[in-house]
Amino acid sequence: MFDETAAVPSGLHHRRFVAVPLTTDTAALDYASYMASPDVIRAHSDGRWPVEGFTLADDLKLVAKHQADHENRRAFTFVLLAPSLREALGCLYVNPLHEYLQRAGADRRLLGAVPPVSALVTFWLRQDQQDTGLADVVVETVNDWLLTAWPVATHMFRVLPDERSSCTALDRLDLRKTRLSLPGDTRPYIWYQPSA
């Protein structure tokens, strides 16, 4: 996804939240947040991520994969922590956009319009953090962070319509809203990109 020499931010600090790489050290906090958010997880994953019967051991396996991807610069997963660092508020994912579009069957025109070094950004916030204004803070802060601190040519946020707080927060920013025609992924994703 990135030139091996390009510096990737190690985290993000805001007065409302702290983003740090998701590792096995923060897995228990991540798991507690995930399990406290069944409706959010179902909406964010379109029902693909497990909730019932999902254990900390299951989460640790997934976290280890995210950690390896992060360390090897394939994809970047951050846990969003409260400023106290004692509880997780959600997760943020920065993945290679161009690779996703190729897998999803994007046509040559779309692939040509998206720079090879670009980011696909998704996130979810804990269920009790919906409608608290945190989504607005996260979206604005992360958008600025990607524009100023990341070695990417562009980025796009992706959400599903049922992610109400996230959609509302993205609608409030000065972003271009679009839908992409992707034969290999027919979910009704809404995409947001910084204005040129």
Supply 178's token pair.
């679009």
Residue 121 has a pLDDT of 98
Are 168 and 138 in contact by the 8 Å Cβ rule? The answer is no
DSSP state of 123: E
* Cα–Cα distance measured from residue 50 to residue 44, given in angstroms and rounded to the nearest whole number: 12
DSSP-derived 3-state class of residue 47: coil
pLDDT of residue 174: 86
Tens digits of pLDDT across the chain (196 residues):
666 778 899 999 999 999 999 999 999 999 999 999 999 999 999 999 999 999 999 999 999 999 999 999 999 999 999 999 999 999 999 999 999 999 999 999 999 999 999 999 999 999 999 999 999 999 999 999 999 999 999 999 999 999 999 999 999 998 999 989 899 998 999 999 998 6
Question: What's residue 3's pLDDT?
Answer: 67
Closest CA to 122 of 100, 93, 96: 93
**Residue 1: its pLDDT value, please?**
61
What per-residue confidence (pLDDT) applies to 91?
98
pLDDT at 196 (0 to 100): 64
Q: Answer positive or negative: Cα dihedral of 7, 11, 15, 192.
A: positive
What is the predicted pLDDT for the residue at 188? 95
| pLDDT (0 to 100) of residue 195 | 82
The pTM of the full predicted model, rounded to 2 decimals, is 0.96
